[in-house]
């Protein structure tokens, strides 16, 4: 007989594969950031099969993250079933989008710099959280547009995804130095941003298209043919996107397409994403059991990302692993052991996340409240008594000094006259 936990997992299995996929992506991100930070330059050779494989796998992490973000958010938004004005997930999504952008900036702040009124330029560079926040806001915008014009949402999402990818050369080739840096960082990587709005929210739109399909027919995820169809789509993009763009260029003569097929990595990476997603979609529901820890890791990606960012890069205090160890300073074996330890530390944190949250949100605030109350009691009760006592002692001392000093002053005065 199955346990209640297993029954719950089965009943909600339509989204379990997404949590498993997110867990895979976040753990890949952890090791990827660790290795990229510490692996010495001498070992970053394109002739090394291991390094090439690692770089290829690392390059899949961000596209998977953005695509799954679009999938999950659109799926949950549409499963509510109500119009946008009545849909609670719209307000929640808007709040979450703005919150993620804010957290993205917060993670880059240096507290010691703030104490001297200094905000360093890197604070305004753009990272994963900023783009995910913008993606959530954009997905809501597309759903609102669909309500207005009545088009097919999956097709509309696909159109926005393709359009975003097609706009990438325009943003890459042009200079945005004339804009204020805080805005330019969203459009170009020239000033230190890791990601930009274009093309990366395009992956979220493609995920949104898949989420829109599954929201209407969630049982498709349990069939054999639908994952196979997605897999075929992914393989086609991987091996055929270049030739497709070449054919479009030859057919239309549009010079802009020449830029795209010379740099078709976006569609190539999208193909990889649509190979990975159907594999997880098909395999996960057929596993006899999914460890609860795996889905828990997948649901705590923001916590893991925030913790790893501060610990690895030392942004808040100016002291992190990158400052302690030194960037690009380790050999492959040491980096591998360190990356494994780093990943296991994150897993350990999630295992005990309830205890940590209890300590952060309950124990520590309670301690500060207790100290604040004690300080209040001391300030309003004890401090006046101590001040009165000190004043009384001072007056006594003053009287004593005056009784001794005045005669002495008179004696010295009389001697001076003599």
Same domain, 182 and 322: yes
By the 10 Å C-beta count (0-12 exposed, 13-18 middle, 19+ buried), 164 is classed as: buried
For residue 345, being part of any structural domain is answered with no
pLDDT at 181: 93
Confidence at residue 364, expressed as pLDDT on a 0 to 100 scale: 85
Q: Do residue 91 and residue 157 come from a single domain?
A: yes
Among 335, 363, 396, the domain boundary falls at 335
pLDDT-derived band at 3 (thresholds 50, 70, 90) equals very low
Q: So what's the pLDDT on residue 417?
A: 56
Task: Using the CB atoms, write b or e for 96-116: b if 16+ within 10 Å.
Answer: bbeebbebbbebbebeeeeee
Determine the Cα–Cα distance for residues 48 and 190; give it in Å rounded to an integer: 29
State the sign of the Cα–Cα–Cα–Cα dihedral 208, 214, 217, 220: positive
30's CB contacts (< 8 A; 6+ apart) are: 304, 308, 339, 342, 343, 346
Domain check: are 364 and 269 in the same one? Answer: no
411: confidence class by pLDDT, cuts 50, 70, 90: low
Tokens 């594999």 identify what position? 279
Domain final position from 305, 335, 365: 335
Q: Would 135 be classed as within a structural domain?
A: yes
Same domain, 151 and 298: yes
Domains held by the chain: number = 2
pLDDT > 50? residue 9: no
Dump pLDDT digits (tens) for 184-195: 999 999 999 999
Residue 340 domain-assigned (yes or no): no
Query: 219 with 267, same domain?
Result: yes
Residue 164 lies in a domain: yes
204 and 308: one domain?
yes
Compute the average pLDDT of residues 394-410.
Answer: 71
Residue 16: domain span:
4-335
pLDDT at 226: 96
The mean of the pLDDT values for the chain is 89
Domain boundary among 310, 335, 360: 335
Q: State pLDDT tens for residues 55-100.
A: 999 999 999 999 999 999 999 999 877 888 888 899 999 999 999 9
pLDDT in tens, 317-373: 989 999 999 999 999 999 999 999 999 999 999 999 999 999 988 888 888 888 888
Residue 136 belongs to a domain:
yes
Query: Could you tell me how far CA 12 lies from the centroid of its own chain?
Result: 25
The verdict on 214 and 118 lying in the same domain is: yes
Asked if 146 and 171 sit in the same domain, the reply is yes
**Residue 297 belongs to some domain of the structure:** yes
Which structure tokens are listed for 365?
């605030």
Predicted local distance difference test score (pLDDT) of residue 49: 93
Residues 329 and 363 in one domain: no
Q: 258 pLDDT band (50/70/90 cuts)? A: confident
CA distances from 2 to 7, 11, 12, 14 (A): 7, 12, 15, 19
pLDDT in tens, 288-311: 888 999 999 999 999 999 999 999
* C-alpha to C-alpha distance for 321 and 348, rounded to whole angstroms: 18
Note whether 318 and 413 are same-domain residues.
no
Q: Would 272 be classed as within a structural domain?
A: yes
Residue 401, domain member (yes or no):
yes
323 and 411 together in one domain = no
- Confidence bin at 1 (pLDDT 50/70/90): very low
The reply to whether 82 and 164 lie within a common domain is: yes
Question: How much of the chain, in percent, has pLDDT values that exceed 70?
Answer: 92
Q: Band the pLDDT of 386: cuts 50, 70, 90.
A: confident
Other residues' Cβ atoms within 10 Å of the Cβ of residue 349:
17
3-class DSSP string for the chain: CCCHHHHHHHHCHHHHHHHHHHHHHHHHHHHHHHHHHHECHHHCCCCCHHHHHHHHHHHCHHHHHHHHHHHHHHHHHHHCCCCHHHCHHHHHHHHHHHHHHHHHHHCCCCHHHHHCCCCCHHHHCCCHHHHHHHHHHHHHHHHHHHHHHCCCHHHHHHHHHHHHHHHHHHHHHCCCCCCCHHHHCCCCCCCCCCCCHHHHHHHHHHHHHHHHHHHHCHHHHHCCHHHHHHHHHHHHHHHHHHHHHHHHHHHHCCHHHHHHHHCCHHHHHHHHHHHHHHHHHHHHHHCCCCCHHHHHHHHCHHHHHHHHHHHHHCCCCCCCHHHHHCCCCECHHHHHHHHHHHHHHHHHHHHCHHHHHHHHHHHHHHHHHHHHHHHHHHHHHHHHHHHHHHHHHHHHHHHHHHHHHHHHHHHHHHHHHC
Give dist(CA 157, CA 204) in Å, integer. Answer: 9
């Amino acid at each position: 007989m199955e346990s209640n936990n297993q029954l719950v997992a089965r009943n909600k299995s339509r989204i379990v594969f997404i949590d498993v996929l997110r867990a895979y992506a976040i753990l890949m991100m952890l090791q990827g950031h660790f290795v990229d930070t510490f692996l010495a330059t001498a070992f970053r050779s394109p002739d090394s099969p291991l390094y090439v494989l690692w770089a290829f796998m690392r390059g899949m992490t961000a596209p998977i993250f953005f695509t799954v973000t679009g999938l999950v958010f659109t799926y949950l938004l549409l499963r509510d079933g109500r119009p946008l004005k009545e849909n609670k997930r719209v307000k929640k999504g808007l709040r979450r989008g703005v919150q993620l952008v804010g957290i993205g900036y917060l993670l880059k702040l240096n507290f010691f710099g703030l104490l001297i009124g200094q905000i360093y330029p890197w604070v305004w560079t753009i990272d994963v959280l900023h783009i995910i926040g913008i993606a959530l806001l954009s997905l809501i915008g597309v759903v609102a547009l669909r309500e207005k014009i009545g088009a097919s949402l999956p097709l509309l999402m696909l159109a926005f995804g393709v359009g975003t990818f097609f706009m990438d050369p325009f943003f890459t080739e042009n200079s945005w130095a004339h804009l204020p840096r805080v805005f330019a960082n969203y459009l170009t990587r020239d000033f230190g941003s890791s990601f930009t709005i274009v093309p990366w929210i395009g992956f979220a739109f493609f995920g949104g298209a898949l989420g829109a399909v599954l929201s209407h027919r969630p049982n498709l995820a349990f069939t054999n043919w639908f994952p196979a169809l997605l897999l075929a789509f992914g393989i086609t993009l991987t091996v055929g996107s270049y030739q497709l763009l070449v054919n479009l260029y030859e057919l239309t003569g549009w010079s802009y397409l020449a830029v795209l097929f010379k740099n078709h990595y976006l569609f190539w990476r999208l193909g990889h994403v649509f190979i990975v997603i159907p594999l997880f979609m098909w395999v996960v529901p057929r596993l006899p059991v999914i460890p609860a820890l795996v889905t828990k890791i997948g649901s705590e990606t923001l916590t893991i990302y925030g913790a790893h960012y501060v610990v690895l890069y030392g942004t808040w205090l100016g002291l992190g692993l990158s400052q302690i160890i030194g960037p690009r300073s380790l050999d492959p074996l040491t980096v591998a052991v360190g990356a494994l330890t780093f990943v296991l530390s994150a897993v350990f944190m999630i295992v005990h996340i309830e205890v940590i949250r209890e300590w952060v949100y309950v124990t520590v605030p309670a301690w500060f409240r207790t100290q604040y109350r004690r300080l209040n009691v001391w300030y309003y009760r004890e401090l006046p008594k101590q001040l009165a006592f000190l004043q009384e002692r001072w007056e006594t001392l003053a009287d004593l000094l005056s009784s001794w000093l005045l005669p002495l002053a008179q004696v010295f005065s009389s001697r001076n006259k003599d």
